[in-house]
């Protein structure tokens, strides 16, 4: 019989394995062949399983199952190391990349985030600049010609105030007829105009959208000090990203200044694709060193692979990005974060996760063989899991008061058309459609409808129900029965379920064999004390 492929492997590996352990010598609850499982190992496992920060308030939690899961995980991880899987190139490369990624993250936090400080002076300066008030007057005209006529009148000495009353602008007003505008509330184009004016000056004719404005700056007022406290957090949130960017640029410049960069400028300038794809292919094969920094080399071929075009601007941008990344990577690795215990724990946890995955891929998966008959048998014995729910086709009338609802219900009992009443009396969005809601499962209905729907037969009308401060009557138009999905619809799901069962079975057998040969020592006192935290 034809055998099915192991298409569910990646899903099963992710879903079946629990949390990796972190070997420590403190707070040991269990020793597996001399290797400790600590409170922190179990706490980490709990946090991943429950996605919660503070587990100290948890009650009714069976800690023993998490301890047992850690024991099982540790046995498998120890087995992978005995098999030399921790030396596999793919594991070494993943761990190397993880160390680099986490080192760069720590460096970024230390040198950029923690040093990007928003000071009180920064906040005050920002507030004074962006929350100052402009006192202005303005004239708004429909055409440029009209605006030119008004401008001539102003230049000849006519009162701006009188002209602005004839053609007012819809600006907020404060203190009589004066327009008082907070600088931070201005649109960029208007802000630009006002910023270039001194008190008493007129702007040029300025087109804003489809209107023509002439603005007069009457005066400038300082930002009111009493409003600063309410805006402090908002201003700090605005300034923080700017500070981070400034500090990032500053730190990167410092690293670049110290870096010993060697660039073959002659070779760099010769890289072009004037002759098309053939020339590009030639450059891709070129292994001559083009750029070197801190012992890392980018060859001509590697550089060409990063290029989409050979113009000078593109080449410079690609070159800068590569150099910046390498300089930061090297600075991060020089910090030697791996010497810190918590960092080593994170790396070990990451490595353990990958070791369990590679064990599943190389040891468990090859043992799994699934026949088509097994999938069919599983489908037949689990049909409840593959049953389509009952669907209901519903018509509804919604009104504002219980009296209106009762009138509708009485009319329906007297033989009135549900469709006609829905169109003429209903206040919801379905009125135009005659109240027809369409097909819904029970779970998609409102709670009162869920309670009543199974008492109705097609054609029946419900009692009045209160739903979200409105009143509703529904009519069941049609309903479907439960329907088992065809195997062809859910064959992949059934296969995955069979795969999971076989995976668990083979894995459990393997772990049981490892347990027979392992020395597992339980610190019962420490376990009881730890369990006590979750039995308050």
Integer angstrom CA distances of residue 363 from 74, 275, 383: 16, 51, 32
**Predicted confidence (pLDDT) at residue 5 exceeds the cutoff of 60:** no
**Predicted confidence (pLDDT) at residue 102 exceeds the cutoff of 90:** yes
**Predicted confidence (pLDDT) at residue 24 exceeds the cutoff of 50:** no
In this prediction, residue 170 carries a pLDDT of 65
3-state SS, residue 440: strand
Alpha helical stretches, state H, 178-299? 188-195, 228-258, 265-270, 277-284
Q: What is the mean pLDDT of residues 83-101?
A: 96
Q: What is the mean pLDDT of residues 289-297?
A: 94
DSSP β-bridge partners for residue 398 = 472
Joined together, the tokens standing for residue 384 give 């409840």
CATH number 3.10.50.40 given to 132-222: yes
DSSP β-bridge partners for residue 479 = 392
CATH number 3.30.70.260 given to 390-481: no
Taking the C-alpha atoms of residue 509 and residue 507, their distance in angstroms, rounded to an integer, is 5
In this prediction, residue 177 carries a pLDDT of 62
Domain residues of the chain, as ranges?
Answer: 132-222, 261-334, 390-481
**What percent of the chain is modeled with pLDDT above 70?**
90
- Give per-residue pLDDT as tens, 436-493: 998 999 999 999 999 999 999 999 999 999 998 899 999 999 998 777 888 888 899 9
The DSSP annotation for 404-428 comes to HHHHHHHHHHTT--HHHHHHHH--S
Closest by CA to 28, choosing from 525, 470, 435, 474, is 525
Q: At 9, is the pLDDT very low, low, confident or very high (cuts 50, 70, 90)?
A: very low
132-222 and 390-481 agree in CATH topology: yes
Which residues, 6 or more positions from 330, have their beta carbon under 8 angstroms from its beta carbon?
Answer: 259, 293, 294, 296
């Amino acid at each position: 019989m034809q055998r099915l492929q192991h298409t569910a492997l990646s899903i099963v590996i992710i879903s079946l394995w629990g949390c990796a352990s972190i070997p420590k010598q403190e707070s040991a609850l269990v020793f597996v062949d001399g290797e400790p499982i600590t409170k922190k190992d179990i706490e980490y496992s709990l946090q991943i399983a429950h996605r919660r920060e503070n587990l100290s308030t948890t009650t009714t939690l069976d800690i023993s199952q998490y301890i047992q899961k850690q024991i099982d995980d540790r046995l498998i991880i120890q087995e992978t190391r005995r098999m030399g899987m921790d030396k596999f190139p793919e594991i070494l490369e993943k761990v190397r990349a993880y160390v680099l990624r986490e080192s760069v993250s720590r460096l970024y936090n230390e040198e950029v985030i923690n040093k990007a400080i928003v000071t009180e002076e920064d906040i005050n300066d920002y507030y004074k600049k962006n929350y100052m008030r402009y006192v202005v007057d303005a004239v708004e005209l429909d055409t440029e010609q009209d605006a030119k006529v008004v401008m001539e009148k102003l230049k000849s000495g006519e009162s701006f105030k009188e002209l602005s009353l004839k053609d007012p602008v819809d600006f907020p007003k404060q203190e009589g007829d004066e327009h008082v505008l907070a600088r931070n509330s201005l649109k960029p184009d208007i802000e630009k105009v006002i910023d270039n004016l001194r008190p008493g000056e007129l702007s040029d004719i300025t087109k804003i959208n489809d209107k023509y404005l002439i603005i007069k700056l009457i005066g400038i007022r300082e930002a009111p000090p009493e409003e600063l406290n309410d805006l402090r957090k908002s201003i700090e949130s605005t300034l923080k990203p700017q500070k981070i960017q400034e500090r990032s640029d500053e730190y990167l410049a410092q690293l670049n200044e110290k870096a010993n960069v060697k660039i073959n400028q002659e070779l760099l300038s010769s890289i072009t694709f004037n002759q098309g794809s053939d020339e590009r292919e030639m450059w891709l094969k070129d292994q001559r060193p083009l750029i070197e920094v801190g012992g890392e080399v980018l060859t001509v071929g590697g550089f060409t692979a990063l290029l989409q075009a050979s113009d000078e601007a593109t080449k410079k941008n690609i070159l800068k990005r590569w150099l910046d990344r390498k300089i930061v990577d090297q600075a991060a690795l020089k910090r030697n974060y791996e010497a810190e215990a918590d960092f080593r724990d994170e790396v070990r946890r990451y490595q353990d996760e990958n070791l369990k995955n590679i064990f599943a891929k190389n040891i468990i998966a090859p043992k799994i063989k699934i026949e088509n008959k097994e999938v069919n048998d599983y489908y037949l014995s689990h049909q409840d899991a593959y049953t389509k729910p009952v669907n209901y086709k519903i018509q509804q009338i919604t009104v504002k008061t219980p009296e209106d609802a009762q009138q509708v219900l009485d009319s329906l009992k007297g033989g009135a058309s549900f469709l006609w009443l829905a169109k003429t009396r209903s206040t919801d969005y379905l009125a135009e459609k005659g109240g027809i809601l369409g097909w819904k499962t029970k779970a998609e209905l409102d709670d009162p409808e869920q309670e009543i729907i199974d008492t109705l037969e097609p054609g029946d009308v419900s009692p009045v129900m209160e739903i979200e401060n409105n009143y509703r009557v529904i009519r069941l138009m049609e309903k479907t029965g439960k329907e088992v999905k065809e195997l062809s619809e859910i064959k992949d799901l059934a296969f995955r379920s069979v795969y999971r069962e076989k995976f668990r079975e083979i894995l459990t057998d393997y772990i049981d064999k490892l347990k027979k040969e392992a020395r597992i020592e339980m610190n019962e006192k420490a376990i009881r004390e730890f369990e006590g935290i979750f039995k308050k």
